[in-house]
Amino acid sequence: MSRFLKPLRVQVNPDELHHPSLAAVRDYWMVKRGTRSMPSRADLDPGDLKEHLPAIVLVDVDPRLQEFRYRLIGTHVALYFGEDNTGRTPAEAF
């Protein structure tokens, strides 16, 4: 973690988000999922979230390999952790 960045604050209950960016992403998610438990990958367009992309991590799941792969790591997240692991699996990244 960069010594210039503030520590992360965790908000657990998505119904009580106070940060406007978190609330905006939550609202986008809720609209895209509709009546389902979550939206499909095809429902999500990163272009819809341009102003929030620096703080977003998108992860793909490969059920055949039981593995995750970072599809997108926002620039703020990469700066926070000191490395951009886009395209890597957690095992490759850590």
Reported as a pLDDT band with limits 50, 70 and 90, residue 76 is very high
Query: pLDDT tens digit string along 16-71?
Result: 888 888 899 999 999 999 999 999 989 999 899 999 999 999 898 888 878 899 99
Query: How far is Cα of residue 6 from the mean position of the Cα atoms in its chain?
Result: 18
Q: Beta 57-62 vs 67-73: how paired, if at all?
A: antiparallel
Give the pLDDT score at 10.
74
Note whether 52 and 24 are within 8 A (CB): yes
Q: From CA 73, how far away is CA 8, in angstroms rounded?
A: 16
In the chain, helix, strand, coil percent, each to 5?
45, 15, 45
Q: From CA 85, how far away is CA 69, in angstroms rounded?
A: 9
pTM value surpassing 0.75? no
